[in-house]
Structure 1
Amino acid sequence: MHADIVFTGGTVRTGDTDARCHEALAVTDGRISAVGAEALALRGPRTAVVDLEGGALLPAFGDGHAHPVLGGLGLRGVPVRECASVEEIVDAVRRWAETHPEAEWITGDGFDPWLAPHGLFDARWLDAAVPHRPVLLRTSDHHTAWVNSEALRRAGYTAAGADPAGGQIVRRDGGDQPLGTLREFGALNPVLSLVPTPSRAAHVDALREAAARFAAAGVTWVQDALVTPDLVDVWITAATTGPGLPVRADLCFLLEPGGWRERIERFTSDRERIESAAPGLLTARSVKFFADGVIEAGTAALLEPYTDCPHSHGMATWAPAELAEAVVAVDALGFRPHVHAIGDGAVRSALDAIEKADRTNGARDRRPVIAHAELIDPADLPRFKALGVIANLQPLWAQCDPLMTKLILPRIGEERGRRQYQIGSLLASDARVAFGSDWPVTAHEPLRGIATAVTRQTPEGTPEGGWLPEERIDTATACAAYSAGCAHQAFEEKDWGALRPGMRADLVHLAADPVTTAPAELAHLPVLGTWLAGRRTHEAGISTPSRAARG
């Protein structure tokens, strides 16, 4: 039998722990049929031969925590992501509003939260550009919004009002008047609910655009870490109509406090509907919990008070006892808890909840996930391994950038600052680690995250030697966290995440071998091709569909 595809002319890295390399790989019926000399022997007259051109073939990447629909929708609206100052943002808002007089709301997504002192943004700055239509801009972390006065008025946020549950309306110094900065979803959601909802077709279009971007980055599997009921049919439609999707995905149902017992009743039926509609492409095995917010906004839940606010431990989204009860409930239904936990207090609450599920429902291979785990108390670090918890980390965050120096470090101090993003320590403890991007919070390209995990430096190469260099890891380990680590998170490690005969041909072709590439160059290593079960989903030089091209 001849192979359908043979890859040759470069280095084939299997992704196994022994870092074996081969000169060729063969694919038959979407599966790896041979590696090395045996692969070359499977060439036949109808075999497609892919020349690696001196580059490397690796297991395709996964992304264990991302928001494809949200990110795709965020590509619309005011382009504020690249703005480098408040003035640039205001100018971008003014220009966009002038060219879109039909838009009832002016929205934008992804600006840097450190651009204003202490992360505090004033509604009056936006009023100067757009006084009569509401403006809503979200920071890159999506836990803070900057709105103008008209948006505050429509939401009913006044000096007389109290903060909503689970949110904060930042007030002006010396008074009760809302400033224009809203923190956490309790404060954001009443405003977001006023923004006209894009059509189903727009959602599907946004998802397809996002999926194409992931494929172009070498990704073949994504964990959508926040799926609300309205997004179920978006994923099903995108997966089952038109060209389909170039990535597989596991959908993670959002569960929030208040009425959660009633809401989980539909999770099982939604799971069955999703998996029967797109078998082999979509799964729905996870439930998402927000245990807290983020340190830069002062809303991450800490064990000890904030350095710059000694009376505050942050904002726990769930009471610890109720979080444990809810985790036990979804675990009993066969779902995996996927908990956003940034502060060390939230990490402990998440670990306690998972431990209670294990005691209550019995031991099994449940693979719970704690996402981000930015700050871990030393007493809790060994619990990841003990409880079988996967630490899904965002390696691109492990750098001393302006977010860290201007907002995070002043709020937690030096000692806690040195306990952030303990990638090396978690791996040394034999805990399971998988990488993700949290896109659109930060860039979705795995190679950028790999570069940061290896160097612990900013793109400019600072600081020399890396930030917290003891937490650096080598390139092969970082690549594995994006492949084998994500495959384990997906319960699919026997099917992908390594290049062995019989495994699915989820592959990425890089222009050079990342293991022998200088760490400073990893972020810029071109992705030349991506294959999902032997089907090419990306080819360098062929642009992915864009909003402009589709009209």
Structure 2
Amino acid sequence: MTISPEKNPFPIAFTGGRILTMDPKQSHADVLVIQGGRIVDIGDKCVLKSYPDVEIIDLCGRILLPAFIDAHNHLSFACFVPQWVNLWGLTSKDAIQDAVEMHVQNHPGRDWIVGFPWIDAYCGGVELTRKDLDGFGLDRPVLIMHETWHKFVASSQALKMASITASTPDPGSGKIIRDSDGEPTGVLLESAGAPLLQLALETNRRRFADLIEARAEELHAFGVTAIHDPGVTPAAEAAYRLLYEEGRLPVSVLMMPHGDSLLDNRIENRLNGPSTGLGDERLRVGPIKLFADGGVPGTVAFSGKIRGRMYTDGMPRDDFSDELIKAIKRRSQVCVHSLGNVTTDAVLESFETAIEQSPDGHNILPRVDHVFLLSLAQITRLASMGGCSAVQPCFLNRAERLKRMAFEGYQWFAFNDLVKGGVVVAGSSDDPNGIMDGRDTIKCCVMGATMSDDAGNVIFPDQVMPFEQWLWIYTAGSAIAGGQENERGMLRKGLVADLVILEGELDPKKPPFVAETWANGKKVYVKAKLTGANQ
């Protein structure tokens, strides 16, 4: 249950349980003291002698650690999901049509109808075209979004509003699927869908801010008090700043500036705005976000031998490298979306070139997120540049088929290899994704610790790491990846008092749960206790 935080000017001491500091300089502590939103002391029980008026909170054997940082959460996009048609688990045209029609009944008007997450035939669902959507008989534009949000299908009215016709050329980093007559089928890949996204998500600054606030408040139940939003459009940045100005940001946000809509790498205008690092602990500008490949077959660049036979698919986007180098020259940091091994090679090469051309005194922190398929040589290259990566254990839910695609010399979901290779690894949800609710940090730590899907099927056992290692990844690891290690992610004197209390054992077979969440020294969430008939 979310609660209204109350300001307490007096010091508060936590003791009586295990304290995980995530701080290599002080791994053990018996007491943690906070005041005014900060950690003011940490150490053994003698610390309490310095605070005669302290309020003591008995952990009762529970576990105290830094609150979680979701290092790849598209909050300014995910906030729209509750407004859309819920397509979770729907794998037939009839079921999708029924859901759309029910949504229209409950939400009359002329606004866009957006459905998510669409499961296509490749993932066990159904293919759709504009003719299918036109057959719903609606006098409103319809946009159905793939579970990866890298593939879309639009109705004829939606295509017309976005001025997409038979004569519209494919964007360099996207594709308009066409029929035998050259007419758009309604299916759009990657940046070809950006104009529709921009239209469908258009809203005023006030409503945008309200949607963000509501979605952000849900994160407290998962122990999350800070996020990195990788793809903040100018409109989203304006909404975040409104929340900041009004003191309404439920979580700390590291904004990663992007183009005018998601999947749009054109960042020239944004490079004239506030640069990486500007802001404070509640709202700060992070690295520029670029996409180097996509998220569906044909848009992710893989290449290598599988059982002795060469397999190649997809190409990296052709619009990210120049933008990356340009941003580095302007003293920004950069985060790049990269799934395929071929793409990652191109991204690493671009960072290496950017480092050679970077201004004097500009310390670059190369960040390559997702990295589904990696070689040890690529890990070494990233580590040699002091690089980092935000990964998502939740995607193990769709990894069974990848297990059968064993590329020689490469590893899928090489989480343990990354850590052993010296790359800073951050934990994240990639919310919203249509695979599972990756915001559930504890569940994701379990999946990472066992390298299994959420049904318990072990996928890549050689990449297993301890549960506590994953807790570090979602706290200190995420802070380092965001350049925030001097403000959060560890229990250290002077850092922000963002805390989570876990109840239970640190055992992936019987994991703990989030009992309380504290943000900026204030209690913002307490798990409701079940009693009587509710147990």
TM-score greater than 0.5 by the shorter chain: yes
Decide whether the 8 Å contact of 1:85 with 1:115 is kept in 2: no
Partner of 1:545: none
The equivalent residue for 1:548 is none
Report the CA distance shift for 1:118/1:292 in structure 2 as closer, same or farther (over 3 A).
farther
Structure 1-normalised TM-score?
Answer: 0.83
1:212 maps to 2:217: yes
**Counterpart-to-counterpart distance in 2, 1:129 and 1:55:** 53
Aligned with residue 225 of structure 1, among 218, 225, 230: 230
CA distance in 2, matches of 1:344, 1:449: 24
Q: Larger % of helix: which? A: 1
The Cα of 1:502 is off from its aligned counterpart by 3.4
Query: Which residue pairs with 2:68 in the alignment?
Result: 61
Is this contact kept in 2: 1:306–1:314, CA < 8 A? Answer: no
After superposition, where does 1:208-287 map in structure 2 within 5 Å? 208-241=213-246, 243-255=247-259, 260=266, 262-268=268-274, 275=279, 279-287=280-288
TM-score (norm 2): 0.86
Q: 1:200 aligns with which of 180, 197, 205?
A: 205
Mapped contact 1:35–1:501 kept (Cα < 8 A): no
Q: Where in structure 2 are the equivalents of 1:60-459 lying within 5 Å?
A: 60-81=67-88, 83=90, 86-113=93-120, 120-157=127-164, 162-171=169-178, 176-185=182-191, 187-195=192-200, 197-241=202-246, 243-255=247-259, 260=266, 262-268=268-274, 275=279, 279-294=280-295, 296-303=296-303, 313-318=313-318, 323-361=320-358, 365-397=363-395, 399=396, 401=397, 403-405=398-400, 413-415=405-407, 419-441=411-433, 442-459=437-454
Using a 3 Å threshold, how does the CA distance of structure 1 residues 259 and 171 change in structure 2: closer, same or farther? closer
Taking a change above 3 Å as real, the CA distance of residues 197 and 222 of structure 1, as seen in their structure-2 partners, is: same
Whether the 8 Å contact between 1:293 and 1:315 is mirrored in structure 2 is: no
Which residue identity does 1:540 align to in structure 2?
K
Counterpart secondary structure, 1:479: helix
Residue pair 2:173, 2:318 contacting (<8 A) in 1 also = no
- Could you tell me which residue of structure 2 aligns to residue 468 of structure 1? 460
Tell me: CA distance 1:21–1:380, structure 2 relative to 1, closer, same or farther (3 Å). same
**SS in structure 2 at match of 1:6:** strand
Deviation at 1:220, TM superposition (A): 2.2
Structure 1 unaligned blocks of 5 or more: 543-551
Residue identity opposite 1:229 in structure 2: P
How far does the alpha carbon of each residue in 1:426-485 deviate from its partner, in whole angstroms, 9 at most, with x for none? 1111121111211112522221221111111121111xxx21111111111111111111
8 Å CA contact 1:3–1:44 kept in 2: the answer is: no
Counterpart-to-counterpart distance in 1, 2:409 and 2:89: 27
Q: Percent of pairs identical after alignment?
A: 25
Give the match's secondary structure for 1:427: helix
- Does 2:528 match 1:530? no
Rounded to whole Å, the distance in 1 between the matches of 2:87 and 2:265 is 36
Checking the alignment, whether the CA contact within 8 Å between 1:392 and 1:436 is kept in structure 2 is yes
* Matching of residue 493 in structure 1 with residue 485 in structure 2: yes
- For the structure 1 residues 196 and 234, does the alpha-carbon distance in structure 2 shift closer, same or farther, using more than 3 Å as the test? closer
Change (3 A) 1:503 1:513: farther
Q: Distance in 2 between matches of 1:258 and 1:71?
A: 17
Q: Which residue of 2 aligns with 1:13?
A: 20
**C-alpha spacing 1:513/1:239, structure 2 compared with 1 (3 Å):** farther
Secondary structure in 2 aligned to 1:528?
Answer: strand
Query: One-letter code of the match for 1:289?
Result: L
1:415 match: secondary structure: coil
Aligned equivalents of 1:37 and 1:226: distance in 2? 45
Instruction: Tell me how far 1:203 sits from its aligned partner.
Output: 0.6
User: Matched residues in 2 for 1:78 and 1:62: separation?
Assistant: 29
Q: Residue 83 of structure 2 aligns to a residue in which SS?
A: coil
AA paired with 2:394? Answer: L
Secondary structure of the residue aligned to 1:75 is helix
For residues 80-111 of structure 1, what are the alpha-carbon distances to aligned partners after superposition, in whole Å with 9 as ceiling and x for unaligned?
A: 23546554332211111122221332112334
- Pick closer, same or farther for the CA change 1:128–1:53 going to 2, 3 Å: farther
What residue number does 1:25 align with? 32
1:178-212 deviations in Å (ceiling 9; x for gaps) = 44432112x21232344372221111011111221
Corresponding residue SS for 1:146: strand
Secondary structure of the residue aligned to 2:200 is coil
Contact 1:26 1:42 in 2 (8 A): no
Tell me the distance in 1 between the aligned counterparts of 2:138 and 2:48: 67
The separation in 1 between residues aligned to 2:140 and 2:454, in whole angstroms, is 38
